[in-house]
Amino acid sequence: MAEIELKTAPADFRFPTTNQTRHCFTRYIEYHKCLNAKGEDAAECQKFARYYRSLCPVEWVERWNEQRENGTFPGPL
Amino acid sequence: MIEVFLEWRFLTIAPCDAAEPWQLGSQDAATPIMQGIIDLHHDIFFFLILIFVFVSRMLVRALWHFHEQKNPIPQRIVHGTTIEIIRTIFPSIIPMFIAIPSFALLYSMDEVVVDPAITIKAIGHQWYRSYEYSDYNSSDEQSLTFDSYTIPEDDPELGQSRLLEVDNRVVVPAKTHLRMIVTPADVPHSWAVPSSGVKCDAVPGRSNQTSILVQREGVYYGQCSEIRGTNHAFTIVVEAVPLKDYGSRVSNQFILQTN
């Protein structure tokens, strides 16, 4: 496992500033919108999952997952 | 006395990428941004010395000539067009010469020109920092996360700097574009590494990004610039390794964690 592919979420022109909070949130929403549109195991959605995992702190993702399960997630899904 | 001063100033074993006693200048640059900051400092210093010499000369000259015995009747010049023009134009040109390189540097620091190769999240907690490498995850649960604690004051090993060393350093590859995502979990923090020219505030509920390109391998020491709360963890140590070693360093840590 010594070979690791160096790849991460690309720079996004929608979020050119230092503040990347929305970048992470948007990628998280995009992933779940993609799943809703294309089915639970659509392969083309996986890239959004990789992006939001790169950008969002684990704690935030855990909280949002919890909120989605409880139906209290604040974003548009 | 002189020996003591010399020892302080020159004969200390200087860790080049950490603060040293009686340090006057910046630490050696490790990134192009830091090089830019040092160059800007020197640029501005040129104008600073120019103005300092000129103003000192005028002051000393004025003090010298306004003397009640040597020069009892002062000159009574009330107007001079040439001097008026010169002393208006020059002070307005000098700030321009300072502003142009300053803004160029400021905007180049902000700009993310190329897609970064790695994203590292620095999460500040009041008593420690944790780092997340999540580019290689395939689920939300699995993540390479480790905590980085300052070595306490009473047990550094020989050669370690007091209150400057941590138990787990941040390993980054050299000569690679990195994206640092900086955010805290409880109190505000600031992720600062002087030799990389990086200082990024961490504000709860917000994630800030800063990009780094470390140009040489080495160990870089930094300190938090936002000390909030008792026993606030302030030590930051970045270890830049060659790109070919980075993979094995990270995957070793990953294996250690999953087992």
**pLDDT tens sequence across B68-109:** 888 888 778 788 999 999 999 999 999 999 999 999 999 998
Do the bridges between strand B177-184 and strand B198-202 make them parallel or antiparallel, or are there none, so unpaired?
Answer: unpaired
Q: Are residues B92 and B208 in the same domain?
A: no
Q: Are residues B235 and B125 in the same domain?
A: yes
- How large is the ipTM? 0.87
Q: Are residues B253 and B132 in the same domain?
A: yes
Answer whether B140 sits within 8 Å of A16, measured CB to CB. no
CATH code of the domain in which B154 resides: 2.60.40.420
**pLDDT tens sequence across B114-135:** 889 999 999 999 999 999 988 8
Interface residue of A13, A19, A21 to substitute, partner B, most B CBs within 10 Å = A21
A-chain CB neighbours of B207 within 8 Å are 19-21, 24, 55-57
Domains identified in chain B, total number: 2
Report residue B235 CA to chain centroid gap.
14
Q: At what angle do helices A58-70 and A21-38 cross, to 10 degrees?
A: 40
Answer whether B179 sits within 8 Å of A57, measured CB to CB. no
Tokens of residue B9, six digits: 């100033």
Interface residue of B145, B181, B213 to substitute, partner A, most A CBs within 10 Å = B181
Binned at pLDDT 50, 70 and 90, residue B250 comes out as confident
Q: Is the pLDDT of residue B64 over 60?
A: yes
Residue of B nearest to A19 (CA): B208
Q: What mean pLDDT do residues B32-47 have?
A: 95
Residue of A nearest to B202 (CA): A19
Structural domains for chain A: 21-70 (1.10.10.140)
Q: Is the pLDDT of residue B258 over 80?
A: no
Predicted local confidence at residue A1, as pLDDT:
42
Which of B253, B250, B221 shows the shortest CA–CA distance to B236? B221
* Domain closes at, from B56, B77, B110: B110
B-chain CB neighbours of A48 within 8 Å are none
Predicted local confidence at residue B163, as pLDDT:
83
Q: Is the pLDDT of residue B2 over 80?
A: no
For residue B131, give how far its alpha carbon lies from the nearest alpha carbon of chain A (Å). 9
Tokens of residue B8, six digits: 């302080």
User: From the CA atom positions of chain B, what is the Rg in Å?
Assistant: 25
B-chain CB neighbours of A11 within 8 Å are 112, 114-116
Q: Are residues B127 and B240 in the same domain?
A: yes
Q: Is the pLDDT of residue B67 over 90?
A: no
Q: Is the pLDDT of residue B226 over 60?
A: yes
Predicted local confidence at residue A75, as pLDDT:
85
Q: Are residues B87 and B67 in the same domain?
A: yes
Q: Are residues B138 and B244 in the same domain?
A: yes
Q: Is the pLDDT of residue B60 over 90?
A: yes
Residue of B nearest to A6 (CA): B117
Predicted local confidence at residue B195, as pLDDT:
93
* Domain closes at, from B76, B110, B144: B110
Report residue B86 CA to chain centroid gap.
38
How many beta carbons lie within 10 A of that of residue A51, not counting itself? 23
Answer whether A55 sits within 8 Å of B181, measured CB to CB. yes
**pLDDT tens sequence across B160-176:** 888 888 888 899 999 99
Mean pLDDT rounded to a whole number for chain B: 86
Q: Are residues B209 and B156 in the same domain?
A: yes
B-chain CB neighbours of A7 within 8 Å are 117, 135
Answer whether B110 sits within 8 Å of A3, measured CB to CB. no
Which of B212, B187, B186, B191 shows the shortest CA–CA distance to B201? B191
> Is residue B238 in a domain?
yes
Residue-range definition of the domain harbouring residue B172: 118-258
Predicted local confidence at residue B127, as pLDDT:
92
Q: Which DSSP symbol is given to B194?
A: G
Interface residue of A1, A3, A15 to substitute, partner B, most B CBs within 10 Å = A1
For residue A75, give how far its alpha carbon lies from the nearest alpha carbon of chain B (Å). 16
